[in-house]
Chains A and B, each alone.
Chain A
Amino acid sequence: MDAQENQVTPNIIAEHGLTSEEYDKILEILGRAPNLTELGVFSVMWSEHCSYKSSKKWLKTLPTEGPRVICGPGENAGVVDIGDGLAAIFKMESHNHPSFIEPYQGAATGVGGILRDVFTMGARPVANMNALRFGDPRHPRTRHLVAGVVAGIGGYGNCVGVPTVGGETNFHTRYDGNILVNAMTVGIAEADRIFYSAATGAGNPVVYVGSKTGRDGIHGATMASAEFNEDSEEKRPTVQVGDPFTEKLLIEACLELMATGAIVAIQDMGAAGLTSSSFEMASKGGVGVELDLDQVPAREDGMTAYEFLLSESQERMLMVLKPGSEERARAIMEKWELDFAVVGHLTDTGRMVVRHHGEIAADLPIDPLALASPEYDRPWEPVPKQPILAADEVSEIAPPDALKTLMGCPDLASRRWIWEQYDHLIMGDTVQRPGGDAAVVRIQGANGAVTGKALAITTDVTPRYCLADPEEGAKQAVAEAWRNLTAVGAMPLAITDNMNFGNPEKPDIMGQFVGCVNGIRKACEALDFPVVSGNVSLYNETAGIAILPTPAIGAVGLLDRYDGSAGIAVRDDGLSLVLIGGTSGHLGQSLYLRELLNREEGAPPPVDLAAERRNGDLVRRLIAGGKVAACHDLSDGGLLVAAAEMALAGNTGVSIGVPDGVPAHAWLFGEDQARYLIAAGDVEAVLSAAESAGVPAAEIGHSGGDAVAVDGAPVALDDLRRIHESWLPGYMAGS
C-alpha cells in the first residue's frame, strides 16, 4: 500500500464511523497517527457491534452465574452443565442488517455464524432455533423478505445437517424497514473438554483453517452499527456469502482436531474477521501476536492488508496450536479438504504486528485497543407508563367470531409453511417438533451416543409489550421462555439474550434498552435463570423509524427423561381442562385488542414473578408425576386461542364454560401471565396438588367432539384448521 492510499483524512475517519473523540483516543494510544489499515482495525474493534460501547454498562448488571453455569458471557457462547459429564453450549445472535439487504445470504450466514460460535467451543451443534420479525404483511417488501430469510435459514441449516427445531415469527409495521433475524444454536460437548479463546504460550503457532479469504463482508460490523437510509441497497456488497458445505466440513474437522488435544485456543472469524479474532484471543490470553498476511489463503489476487484484516469471509477459524502439532492438524484439515496455513505465532510483546509483503502493515498495542474501547453512559428517558385498560373499555365480540379471526391473523396463524422448509428431524433426536411450546431434542452423548435425557429449547419475546412498558415486557419475555420450557416438563436452565433496538443515541430508545435490561435482570433473578450469552443489535432504524424494542430470549431447559415430556396435543375425549394460574382478564396490548379492534394501547399484562415460579413449579411436578395428558402455556391470544391450538394439534374438540361474574371476552382473550392450560384424566389429583401448592386452578371444560365450543357455541375444528393453516401459504402465494 503506498503512502497516498494510506493517508487518513477527517473524511475517512468519519466514513469509518469513528467520532473525533474516538480518533483522539487512537492518537493517544498509538502516540502517532494510524495508517489506514490500523484505522480500519480500530473502526471495527470499536464499532458498536464488536465493542458493545452503548450497552455494556447495562449488560454488566445481568445475573450470569448459577450452580450449573460453566461459562457465562464473554466467550463465543454460554456453557451450562447438564449432568453425566456433558454440557449444553448455546447462544443467539442477530443478522438483521444483512438480512434486510440480501435476505437469503444474510439469514444463511447468520445461521453459519452462530453455528461456529458453538462448535468453536468444542460442541457438536444439535439444534437451531430462530426469532424472526418482519414488517406489515401489506408492505410491498415483506413477502420477498419472508421468502428469502426462510429459504436462507433452511438452506444453510439443512445442508450443514443440524435440525432447525423451532422459533417464532411476528409481523409489525415497525419492522418494515428493519427486519430482525436472530439465530440460535445449541450444541453439546463433554464438560471437561470445552475450548476457549484465550491464547497462551509465546512462540505457539497461530493457524488459519477453513475457507479462503476474499473481499466479501468488509465493514459488515460497521454497517451493523449505523442506521439505514434509502441508500442502504448500495451496501449489498458488504453482505457475505455462505457456504454451508464448507461449514459442515469445518465442524467435522474441528471436532476431530479437538479430540487430538492439539488446540490451545480457538476462535471463529465472525464480525470483523481476522482482526477481531486475533485481538480477542491475544487480549484474553495476555499475549502478543505476529501475523504474516502473505500466508493467509486468499481467494483473490492483490488484496491489501486492510482487506485481509477486515474481510468477513465466512467459514474460517483461527487457532493456536501446541508446538509440534502443526502436521497432525494439517493432515486432518487436508482430509476434510479445507485450507490450512500457519499464519503467525504468539509473542510476549502485548502487541499485534501484521506483516504484508515483508513490510509492517500494522503495529498496534493489544490491550489498549481491546480493553480501552469506549464505554458510553448514554442519556436515557424512562418510557411513560400506560394506563391499565379495563374490560368494559373494550368491545365484546362473539367468542366464535373472535376466535376465527385470531387463529387466522398473521401473528397467530400456523407457521407450518416456514418450518416445513427446515429439516427439523435430522439427527433423529427430535422428540417434539415445531409448533408446540418448546422443541424437545434427545441429548446425544459423546461420539453420537444415545442418552435418556433431553433438552428443551424455546425463543420468546412480545415486542408490543416491550414498547408499552420495557421493563414489564422484558420480564414477560423471560417468564414466557421459562413457562414454555416448563410446559413441556423441562427444568429451565439458562438463557441467551438477543437485544434488538433502535438508535441508542436517542434517549427514548436508550430508555427502552435500560428498561428491558432491568426487566430481564429482575426476571432472571427471581426465576434462577442466568444469562449465559447474548448479543446486542442497535441502530435498527430506517429514516428515523425504530423497530419495536425486541429483547429476544433464547432459553434451554433439561428433561431427565426424554420420554417424559408433555406436548400441547389433546388426543383423547373425556379429559378435563384445568386452567392453572389466576385470571383477571387483562386486555391491554392483547392481540384481541389489536386484531379485532385495531387498537394497540394500554399497559401490558403485569408479570408476578413469584406466581410464575409457584405455578410453573407445580406444572413441572404434575408432568413429572404423569398427571398431565397435554399442557400449553397461555400467551398471545389468551385462553381460548391456547385451547384451540391444543384441540387442533390433537384433532380432538374441546368445550369450555365461561365462569359467572367475569366479562367473557376478558376471560377468554385476556393475556394474563403465569398461566397454563392442562388436559388431565385425573382432575382431582391436579386440583388437590394445586391447592396444596397455593396455586389457583379451576376445571373449565373437557375434551371431546369435533369443535371448539364456548358455552355451547361451536367452531368446527375443520373450519378452524382451514383458517389457521391457510393464511401464511396463501399470503406467500400472493393471494
Chain B
Amino acid sequence: MRAAVIVFPGSNRERDMRLALGGSFGEDPVMVWHRDTDLPKVDLIVLPGGFSYGDYLRAGAMAAHSPVLREVKARADAGVHVLGVCNGFQILTETGLLPGALMRNADLRFVCRDVHLKVERADTAFTGGFRAGDVLRCPVAHHDGNYFADAGTLDALEGEGRVAVRYCDETGAPTVAANPNGSQRNIAGIYNERLNVLGMMPHPEDAVHPLLGGLGGKPLFDGMAAGIGDAA
C-alpha cells in the first residue's frame, strides 16, 4: 500500500499527513513536489492542507492549475484513490474533481477547534474503519471551509450517498451550533460519483495519537490501509 503526498509551495500540513499515513500504512508516503509530472505508481494520492500559493486568489485556485494536477486527475479518472484535506479539498473542488465550492467561513474568521463528525457510510474504501453513523472528533483549521453547492447538487450528493462526513454534536445531530463555518447541510466532506475521491475540511491527520488530539482520525487511516489495498 503506497501513498503519495503532493507538496505545493505553501502546503504546510504535509508532515502531519506523512506521520498519520506512515502510522497506519507501515510505510512512509512518497512526498511529491508539485512540479513533478511523473507521479510514481501509488494506491492513494493525498493533497494536504496549507495555503498553496498563499491562497491569495481563491483558496486552491492556483494549485488546481499546477502541472501535477493533470496527472492527479488522470489517475483519479483511472480509479486511483485521492484524498484531499482542507486546502486539498479546496483544490479538488477547483479542479472539478468534486462539486461545489468552499467559501469564506460564515463568521469571516479563521477557526481552529475540535469538531464532531458523523460518518455517513462505512462501505467506501476510505471509511472501513468506522461503522455507519459513528461520531468522531478531530480538529478543523481553516478560513474558507463553508461548503456551498446549489440545491440540485446538494440533493444529488445526498441521494447518491456522496456526503462523507457531516458536522454534528456529540450525539451525531447535525445542529447549527455544531457547524463551525456555515457549510450547507453541515457538509464537512464529500465523495465523487465513483467514491474514489474524498475531500474533507477537517483534519483527521491531527487526531491519530491519544495525547495529541485524540484518536478520532485514526480509523480513517487504518480503514484506508485495509480498504484501498494494493493497486500493483
Contact partner, A337, options B9, B19, B139, B141, Cβ 8 Å = B9
Complex CA gap A442/B16 in Å reads 13
Contact status B211-A336, CB under 8 Å: no
Question: Chain A contacts of B110 at CB under 8 A?
Answer: 151, 154-155, 158, 421-423
| A580–chain B nearest beta-carbon distance, Å | 25
A159 within 8 A of B: yes
Which among B50-58, B72-80, B158-166 touches the partner chain? B50-58
Please determine whether A431 and B212 come into contact, CB atoms closer than 8 angstroms.
Answer: yes
B9 engages A245 (CB within 8 Å): yes
With A420-B113, A421-B111: A245-B141 Cβ-Cβ less than 8 Å: no
- B227 is an interface residue with CB less than 8 A from chain A: no
Is A430 among interface residues, defined by CB-CB distance under 8 A?
yes
Assess whether A161 is in contact with B12, with CB atoms less than 8 Å apart.
yes
Which of chain A's residues have a CB closer than 8 A to the CB of B65? none
Contact of A245 among B19, B49, B56, B209 (CB under 8 A): B56
Partner of B9, one of A151, A336, A427, A562: A336
Find out whether the CB atom of A431 lies under 8 angstroms from the CB atom of B211. yes
B12 touches A428 (CB 8 A): no
The answer to whether A427 touches B54, judged by C-beta atoms less than 8 angstroms apart, is no
Residues of B within 8 A of A675 (CB): none
> Which residue from chain A places its CB closest to the CB of B109 in the assembled complex?
A421
> Given A420-B113, A423-B112, A425-B203, is A448 in contact with B15 using a C-beta cutoff of 8 Å?
yes
Q: Is A159 in contact with B141, judged by CB distance below 8 angstroms?
A: no
CB neighbours of A422 from chain B (8 A): 110, 112
Min distance, Cβ B227 to any Cβ of chain A, angstroms: 23
A431 to B211, CA, bound (A): 6
B10 within 8 A of A: yes
Contact yes or no, B141 A423, CB < 8 A:
yes
CB pair B12 A248 closer than 8 Å: yes
B172 lies within 8 A of chain A by Cβ: no
**B114 CB to nearest chain A CB (Å):** 9
**Residues of B close to A248: CB separation below 8 A:** 9-10, 12, 51
Q: Is the CB–CB distance between B12 and A160 below 8 Å?
A: yes
A 418-451 binary contact with B (CB < 8 Å = 1; else 0): 0111111111111100000000001000001010
Of the candidates B50, B109, B212, which one forms a contact with A428 in the assembled complex, judged by CB atoms under 8 Å apart? B212
Task: Tell me the minimal C-beta distance from B210 to chain A in angstroms.
Answer: 9
Task: Encode contact with B along A229-259: 1 for CB under 8 Å, 0 otherwise.
Answer: 0000000000000011110110000000000
Q: Are B111 and A426 within 8 A (Cβ)?
A: no
Contact A159 B212 (CB under 8 A): no
- In the complex, A159 Cα to B59 Cα: how many Å? 12
A426-B211 CB under 8 A given contacts A243-B54, A421-B111: no
**Is B94 on the interface with A (CB-CB < 8 A)?**
no
Query: What per-residue 1/0 map shows which CB atoms of B190-216 lie under 8 Å from chain A?
Result: 000000000000010110010111000
The yes or no answer to A563 lying at the interface (CB within 8 A) is yes
Question: How distant is the Cα of A6 from the Cα of B141 in the complex, in angstroms?
Answer: 52
CA distance A169 to B209 in the complex (A): 30
Partner pick for B109 among A151, A429, A562, CB 8 A cutoff = A151
Chain A: which residue is nearest B139 at the CB level?
Answer: A425
CA distance A464 to B51 in the complex (A): 40
Nearest B residue to A150, CB-CB: B109
Name which residue of chain A comes closest to B15, CB basis: A448
Given A159-B51, A423-B110, the answer on whether A442 and B10 have CB atoms closer than 8 Å is no
Question: Is B13 interfacial (CB-CB < 8 Å)?
Answer: yes
A161 to chain B, nearest CB (A): 3
Residue of B nearest to A161 (CB): B12
| A158, B10: Cβ atoms closer than 8 Å | no
Chain B positions within 8 Å of A428 at CB level: 15-16, 19-20, 205-206, 209, 212-213
Instruction: Find chain B residues with CB under 8 A from A421 CB.
Output: 109-112
**Which of chain A's residues have a CB closer than 8 A to the CB of B206?**
425-426, 428
Judge whether B137 is part of the interface by a CB distance below 8 angstroms.
Answer: no
Within B77-105, which residues are at the interface with A (CB < 8 Å)? none
**Given known A425-B112, A442-B212, contact A244–B51 (CB-CB < 8 A):** yes
Whether A244 pairs with B54 at a CB distance below 8 angstroms is yes
Query: Closest approach, in angstroms, between the C-beta of B96 and any C-beta of chain A?
Result: 24
A161: chain B residues within 8 A (beta carbon): 12-13, 50-51
B116 in the interface (beta carbon within 8 A)? no
Rounded to whole Å, the gap between the CB of B72 and the closest CB of chain A is 21
Interface residue? B143 (CB, 8 A): yes
Contact of B112 among A159, A243, A246, A424 (CB under 8 A): A424
Specify which of A249, A429, A431 is in contact with B10 (CB 8 Å cutoff).
Answer: A249
- Interchain CB contact (< 8 A) of B211 among A243, A245, A425, A563: A563
B residues less than 8 Å from A442 (CB atoms): 212
A626 vs chain B, min Cβ distance (A): 15
Q: Is the CB of B109 within 8 A of A426?
A: no
Instruction: Report how far A159 CA is from B141 CA in the complex, Å.
Output: 11
In whole angstroms, what is the CA distance A421 to B180 when docked?
12
Complex Cα–Cα for A267 and B122 (A): 53
Which chain A residues border B19 with CB–CB below 8 Å?
Answer: 428, 450
B111 and A420 form a contact (CB under 8 A): yes
CA distance A248 to B56 in the complex (A): 14
Q: Mark A147-175 against chain B: 1 for CB-CB distance below 8 A, else 0.
A: 00001001100111100000000000000
Q: Nearest CB to that of A154 among chain B residues?
A: B110
Task: Name the residue on B nearest A444 (C-beta).
Answer: B15
In contact, B9 and A425 (Cβ under 8 angstroms): no
Q: How far is the CB of A721 from chain B (nearest CB, A)?
A: 15
Q: What 0/1 pattern do residues 606 to 639 of A give for CB contact below 8 A with B? A: 0000000000000000000000000000000000
CA–CA, A662 and B62, complex, Å: 67
Q: How far is the CA of A421 from the CA of B107 in the complex (A)?
A: 11
* Residues in chain A near residue B54, CB distance under 8 A: 159, 243-246
Q: Which residues of A contact B50 (CB under 8 A)?
A: 161
Residue of chain A at shortest CB distance from B213: A425
Set B10, B15, B141: member contacting A425, Cβ < 8 A = B141
Q: A426 contacts B13, CB within 8 Å?
A: yes
Chain B residues near A563 (CB, 8 Å)? 211
Closest residue on chain A to residue B33 by CB atoms: A335
Query: Cα distance A430–B211 when bound, in Å?
Result: 9
Docked Cα-Cα span, A424 to B211, in Å, equals 15
- Within 139-178 of B, Cβ neighbours of A (below 8 Å) are at 139, 141, 143
Please indicate the chain B residues that have their CB under 8 angstroms from the CB of A423 in the complex. 110, 112, 141
Could you name 20 residue pairs across A and B whose Cβ atoms are closer than 8 Å?
A: A151-B109, A154-B110, A155-B110, A158-B110, A245-B51, A245-B53, A246-B54, A337-B9, A419-B112, A420-B113, A421-B109, A421-B110, A423-B110, A423-B141, A424-B112, A426-B12, A426-B16, A426-B49, A430-B213, A563-B211
Closest 9 CB pairs of A and B: A161-B12, A245-B54, A428-B16, A159-B51, A423-B141, A423-B112, A421-B110, A448-B15, A154-B110
Other 18 A-B pairs with CB < 8 A, given A158-B51, A428-B16, A428-B206? A154-B110, A158-B141, A158-B143, A159-B12, A159-B51, A161-B12, A243-B54, A244-B54, A245-B9, A245-B51, A245-B56, A248-B12, A419-B112, A421-B111, A426-B206, A428-B19, A429-B212, A430-B212
Q: Which B positions have Cβ atoms within 8 angstroms of A? A: 9-10, 12-13, 15-16, 18-20, 49-51, 53-56, 109-113, 139, 141, 143, 203, 205-206, 209, 211-213
